[in-house]
């Protein structure tokens, strides 16, 4: 495994609920946060895309995503990244869906062998923060090192450059500390 970093994220454009009303988002909030992270890290970036995207209609999407969660489905995703084994660290971005990760993210986590890799979750939300997403990622990836995540209020994602910067620096120094303690 080489020492490369990947940003893998799921995000959806279309109607969403933001600051009290349904709003059209030409670019999803998590995508905006992932793009900021890419600027900071200069890392490779990969968008997790379901083969069959959730509806652009907010209320239909809410229902489709709920069905996938309650039935514990793994919606098929478009293949990639090309050489996942090359990455030692994965920044994993997603919106909070029903208190946890969207199910296409669960498909991603189970499709690739992420054992031994460091996963750094970041989540956009409308009030629930990370929810139970970190615990659910740990369950799906018991052999990965899942670091504390960063929660960003969805509508503020484009303005959260310094919060993202601080988190990246904290995560890097915390990981260095853990490694030093393990030696």
Ligand X SMILES: Cc1cc2nc3c(=O)[nH]c(=O)nc-3n(C[C@H](O)[C@H](O)[C@H](O)COP(=O)(O)O)c2cc1C
Q: Which residues bind ligand X (CB under 6 A)?
A: 11-12, 16, 18, 25, 28-31, 61-62, 65, 95-99, 124-128, 154
Cβ-based nearer residue to ligand X, 25 or 164: 25
For residue 183 the two structure tokens come to: 């030696």
Q: Is 2 helix (H, G, I), strand (E, B) or coil?
A: coil
Query: How far, in Å, CA of 132 to CA of 14, rounded?
Result: 25
Cβ-based nearer residue to ligand X, 145 or 163: 163
Cβ-based nearer residue to ligand X, 15 or 145: 15
For the chain, what is the total number of helices (H) and then of strands (E)? Answer: 5, 8
Cβ-based nearer residue to ligand X, 11 or 145: 11
Q: Which residue has the tokens 């993210």?
A: 105
Residue with the CB atom nearest ligand X in the bound state: 154
Nearest one of 152, 179, 174 to 31, comparing CA atoms: 152
Nearest one of 32, 13, 18 to 157, comparing CA atoms: 32
Cβ-based nearer residue to ligand X, 127 or 142: 127
Per-residue CA distances from 9 to 6, 23, 76, 149 (Å): 10, 21, 15, 13
């Amino acid at each position: 495994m080489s020492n490369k970093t990947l940003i893998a994220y799921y995000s959806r454009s279309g109607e969403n609920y933001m600051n009290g009303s349904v709003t059209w988002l030409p670019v999803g909030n998590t995508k905006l946060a992932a793009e900021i992270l890419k600027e900071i890290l200069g890392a490779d970036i990969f968008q997790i895309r379901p083969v069959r995207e959730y509806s652009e209609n907010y209320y239909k999407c809410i229902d489709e995503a709920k069905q996938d969660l309650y039935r514990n489905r793994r919606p098929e995703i478009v293949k990639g990244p090309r050489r996942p084994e090359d990455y030692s660290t994965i920044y994993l971005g997603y919106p909070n869906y029903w208190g946890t990760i969207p199910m296409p993210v669960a498909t991603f986590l189970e499709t690739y062998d992420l054992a031994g890799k460091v996963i750094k979750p970041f989540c956009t939300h409308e009030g629930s923060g990370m929810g139970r997403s970190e615990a659910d990622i740990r369950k799906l990836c018991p052999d990965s090192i899942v670091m504390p995540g960063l929660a960003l209020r969805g509508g503020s994602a484009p303005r959260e450059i310094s919060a993202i910067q601080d988190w990246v620096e904290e995560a890097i120094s915390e990981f260095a500390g853990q490694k030093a303690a393990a030696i």
